[in-house]
Amino acid sequence: MTSALTWTLQILLIPLLSPFFIGLTKRIKARLQNRTGASSFQPYRDLWKLLHKDEIVSEDASWLFMIAPYLIFATTLVIGASVPLFSTALTNSYSGDFLVVVYLVALGTFMLALAGIDAGGAFGGFGSSREMLVAALTEGGLILSLVTLALVSRSTNLAAISSSIASLPLSGYLPVGLAFIGFSIAMLAETCRYPFDNPSTHLELTMIHEAMIIEYSGKRLALMEWGAANKYLIFIALGANLFLPRGIAGSLEAAPLALALVMFLVKAGAFCAAIAIIESSIAKLRIFRLPDLLFTSFVISAIAAGLVR
């Protein structure tokens, strides 16, 4: 019974919380820029509004454009159920392998890029082109940083990695720390954040993600935005629970679970604050400078993997 309950919680936690953390990041950014900013719950209101609107679909679009939002949202749900959020006791040996997570993310990106081209507009196409450039070059650093963890913990299962890093002695932290740097860069790229993409603009010259979903409206736009929010929180959860898993529950008892939930919220909040500070303090890079940064992520992660004994 408890297991069924915690599984429900595990599956629903990401989609339920993700709009809040998007809102929180925006709010912190606003405060850093001396603005009041909208409430952290604003994204929920936006989604509510979009779901109550009629929808306009381009006459050039095909069935792919119609099903893509559902598929993309579905991938984020499956990934959300596969990553450790608050307990390592929920060992998911079916889809909890980190390669499954990375490639499910790639599946979402693939559908997103195709949907961007489908309407035949001028923006969607170049958004897709840029997205695939960034996604392809991110893959190496992302996978190698997670490989480092897998080699340290002798398992590629995410829950197993989390519990093993949680009990890692401090002396073994060097490769993990290096891998975390590699992962952070990959994470900013995957979640369309500075210095890769500007999440809060519709300026033609800078956008990637917003360009791809520009033809969407109504409920499908809501699903796209919500899916992107899910992905954001998923990457935060990966960063928080794989690299800094202190506080995660090792069992399914009520007290440690509650504590772990609180810890997760606190850590996710800290990640949002860090990202907001990064976004407020640096400029967006030119698109042709991005590969340098992503290659840095790859090299650091490769060194980290090489350091594992």
Partner 1 sequence: MTDFLTSPGVFYAILAVFAIGAAGAPALGRSNRAANFWGNGLAIAGSLAGLAFSGAVLIDGRTPAFSADSTLPLLSFSFRLDRLSAFFMAVICFVALLCSVYALGYVRHYYGKYSLGLLGFFYNIFIASMIVVATAHNALFFLIAWEVMSLASYFLVVYEHRESANVRAGSLYLVMTHAGTAFIIFSFLLMHQATGSFDFEAIAGGMAQASPLARNAIFVSALIGFGMKAGFIPLHIWLPSAHPAAPSHVSALMSGVMIKTGIYMLIRICFGIMPAVSLWWGLLIIAIGAVSSLLGVLYALSEHDLKKLLAYHSIENIGIILLGLGSALVFSSLGMDSLAALALAAALFHTVNHATFKALLFLGAGSVIAATHTRNIEKYGGLIKRMPQTALFFLIGSMAISALPPLNGFFSEWLTFQALFQGVNAFDVTTKIVFILAIGSLAFTSGLAAACFVKAFGVTFLARPRSNDASQAKESEIFPRLAMAGLAAAVIGLGLFSGRFLRLLSGVAGSLANTHNAAAADAAGFSSVSVQNGFAQISMPAVFIALGLAAAAIAMAVFLWTRRRRVLTGPTWDCGAALTPRMEITATGFSRSIITVSRRVLRPRSETEIEYHDANRYFPKAGEVTMGLHDIYRTYIYRPLQDLTTVVAGLMTRVQSGNINAYILYILLTLIGLLFFLGSSIPS
Site for partner 1 in 131-160 (CB under 8 A): 132-133, 135-140, 142-144, 147, 150-151, 154-157
User: Cα angle vertex 77, ends 75, 83, to 5°?
Assistant: 100
Q: How far is the CB of 18 from partner 1 (least distance, A)?
A: 14
Q: Which is nearer to partner 1, 131 or 279 (CB)?
A: 131
From 5, 122, 203, 262, residue interacting with partner 1 (rule: CB under 8 A): 122
From CA 289, how far away is CA 136, in angstroms rounded? 15
Residue 140 Cβ vs partner 1, minimum distance, rounded to whole Å: 4
Taking the complex as a whole, how short is the minimal distance between the CB of residue 57 and partner 1, in angstroms?
6
The whole-angstrom distance between residue 288's C-alpha and the CA centroid of its chain comes to: 23
Binding to partner 1 in span 79-98, by CB under 8 A = 81, 93-97
Cα–Cα distances in angstroms (integers) from residue 110 to residues 22, 37, 80, 144, 191, in the given order: 23, 33, 18, 21, 14
Q: CA 253: distance to chain centroid?
A: 28
Q: Which of residues 185-214 bind partner 1 (CB under 8 A)?
A: 214
HSE (CB half, 13 Å, CA atoms) of 145? 28
Among 6, 18, 40, 75, binds partner 1 (CB under 8 A): 75
CA distances from 154 to 52, 139, 142, 164 (A): 48, 21, 18, 9
Query: In the structure encoding, which two tokens stand for residue 279, read together?
Result: 């976004």
CA distance to 12, 118, 269, per residue, from 112 (Å): 23, 10, 27
For CA atoms 299, 300, 302, 303, the dihedral sign is: positive
23 binds partner 1 (CB under 8 A): no
Tokens linked to 79: 């990934």
Interface pattern 226-255 for partner 1 (x via CB under 8 A): ------------------------------
Tokens, residue 152? 């340290």
CA distance 21 to 279: 15
| Binder of partner 1 out of 59, 170, 171, 283 (CB under 8 A) | 59
**Per-residue binder mask for partner 1 (CB under 8 A), 38-57, x = binder:** -------------xxxxxxx
Number of residues that bind partner 1 (CB under 8 A): 80
To partner 1, the closest distance from the beta carbon of 246 in angstroms equals 25
- Return the residue of 32, 44, 173, 218 that touches partner 1, per CB under 8 A: 218
Residue 183 vs 271, nearer CB to partner 1: 183
User: Based on CB atoms, which residue is closest to partner 1, 24 or 79?
Assistant: 79
When binding is defined by CB under 8 A, the residue of 14, 119, 161, 300 that contacts partner 1 is: 119
